[in-house]
Amino acid sequence: MLNNLFTWLDERLGLTTMYEVILDRKVPKVNWWFTLGSASAILFILQAVTGMFLTIYYVPSPDHAYDSIQYIMNDVSFGWLIRGIHHWGASLMVIIVFIHMLRTFFLAAYKYPREFTWLTGVILLISTLGMGFTGYLLPWNQRAYWATTVGTEIAGTAPLIGPFIVSVLRGGPELSAVTLTRFFSVHIWFLPAIIGALIGIHIYMVIKLGIAGVPDKEEA
């Protein structure tokens, strides 16, 4: 019965071909450092799923943001778990993406023909940091408020365009309800859309070009 269903779907969707192209690829001799790109992708999915659950109760307004998080932590079933995974997963993702970048850098995987994979990776790293920056404000507690005040202040020290960047980030001269909704929207829509699309392109490049592997002393 299940077999028949699979054959039916396979004939129409090409599942076996998809499996062969995406997962059953030839890879050179690799090690555990090569698993960190996939780990980053899985962490992104974990963050997306737990984040979706958090938005069921989270309210992005100065009057309710803090209380809604307290409610998630104390009153929602498993709310503490979902928020805990999202909170620690965020730090873990930054660390794993960073180590993944170091591995591709030290093994020179950014060289021809993988420059574009590296380029999409750079934007992925910046976007992942952006997720951390925008997410940090959302609990709307003292720490979040002042950290974002300082963070946006630092962006403001850029020559010439500094004041413009601050007003775009804050939506005014100071942190306000506008800043909170702005950060929320960037955190749940803009950056995840960018990251999702870029992961697709990044992995397409990896499949198309194959894994670079550990450089060979003889070849150098």
Footprint of ligand HEM (CB under 6 A): 34, 36-38, 40-41, 44, 97, 100-101, 104, 109-110, 114, 117-118, 121-122, 124-125, 128, 195, 199, 202-203, 206, 211-212
What residue type is 195 in one-letter code? Answer: I
Residue among 175 and 195 whose Cβ is closer to ligand HEM: 195
Q: Which lies closer to ligand HEM via its Cβ, residue 180 or residue 212?
A: 212
Instruction: Tell me the closest approach of the beta carbon of residue 27 to ligand HEM, in angstroms.
Output: 9
Q: Which is nearer to ligand HEM, 32 or 142 (CB)?
A: 32
In the bound complex, what is the minimum distance in angstroms from residue 204's beta carbon to ligand HEM? Answer: 11
Cβ of residue 47: shortest distance to ligand HEM, in angstroms?
10
97 vs 188, beta carbon nearer ligand HEM: 97
Question: Which has the closest alpha carbon to 34: 184, 197, 212, 181?
Answer: 212
Question: Shortest CA distance to 153 belongs to which of 138, 161, 163, 143?
Answer: 163
Q: Using an 8 Å Cβ cutoff, are 170 and 178 in contact?
A: yes
Residues 6+ apart with CB under 8 A from 189: none
Q: C-beta of 220: minimal distance to ligand HEM in Å?
A: 16
Q: Could you give the CA distance from residue 165 to residue 154 in angstroms, rounded to a whole number?
A: 10
Nearer Cβ to ligand HEM (7/38):
38
DSSP 56-108: TT---STTTHHHHHHHHHHTSTTHHHHHHHHHHHHHHHHHHHHHHHHHHHHTT
CB of residue 211 to ligand HEM, shortest distance in Å:
4
CB-nearer residue toward ligand HEM: 68 or 127: 127
- DSSP tag of 35: G
**Least Cβ distance, residue 12 to ligand HEM (angstroms):** 28
Cα distances (Å, whole numbers) of residue 204 to 22, 47, 151, 156, 171: 9, 22, 34, 37, 37
